[in-house]
A and B are shown apart, each in its own frame.
Chain A
Amino acid sequence: MKYAYYPGCSLHSTAREYDSSLLPVCRMLGMELDELRHWVCCGSSAIYAAPWRLSLAIAFKNMAQVEKQGMSEMMIPCPACLSKFKRARYETTRQPEWRQKLETIVGHKFKRDIVVRHPLEVMSGEGMLAEVRRLVKVKLSGLKLVCYYGCLLTRPPEVTGAEDAEYPQSMDRLMRSLDATVMEWGNRTDCCGASFALTRTDIVRKLSHDILEGARQVGAQAIVVACPLCQLNLDARQTEVEKEYGASYNIPIFYFTELMGIALGIPGRNLLLERHFVDGVPALKGVGIL
Chain B
Amino acid sequence: MEITIPATVVSEFSDQLERATGININVCFQCRKCTSGCPLAYAMDFTPPQLLHAARLGLRDAVLGSKTIWLCASCETCVTRCPQDVDIVKVMDSLKSLAIRTGIEPAVPEVAYFYRSSIRSILAFGRVYELGLIGQLKLGTRKFRKDLGLGLKMLRKRKLPLLPDLSAIGRNWGLLSKVQKWERR
Contact = CB atoms under 8 A, between A and B. Distances in A.
Contacts of A189: 77
B31 interface: no
A46 B122 contact: yes
Interface in A19-73: 37-41, 43-54, 57-58, 61
Interface stretch (B7-15, B46-54, B55-63, B147-155): B147-155
A54 B127 contact: no
A9 B127 contact: yes
A25 B75 CA distance: 29
A57 B73 CA distance: 22
Specify which of A101, A191, A201 lies most central, judged by the most chain B CB atoms within 10 Å of its CB. Answer: A191
Interface string A197-219: 01111010001000000000000
B114 A51 contact: no
A9 B125 CA distance: 12
Interface of B: 21, 39-40, 43, 71, 73-77, 79-80, 87, 90, 93-94, 96-97, 100, 108, 110-116, 118-119, 121-122, 126-128, 130, 134, 137, 141, 146-147, 150, 153-154, 157-161, 165, 167-168, 171-172, 175-176, 178-180, 182-183
Closest 10 CB pairs of A and B: A46-B118, A155-B76, A49-B115, A191-B75, A9-B128, A46-B119, A151-B75, A199-B110, A48-B96, A156-B79
15 contacts: A43-B122, A44-B128, A46-B115, A46-B119, A47-B119, A50-B119, A51-B179, A52-B94, A54-B175, A58-B175, A105-B175, A105-B179, A199-B110, A201-B146, A277-B153
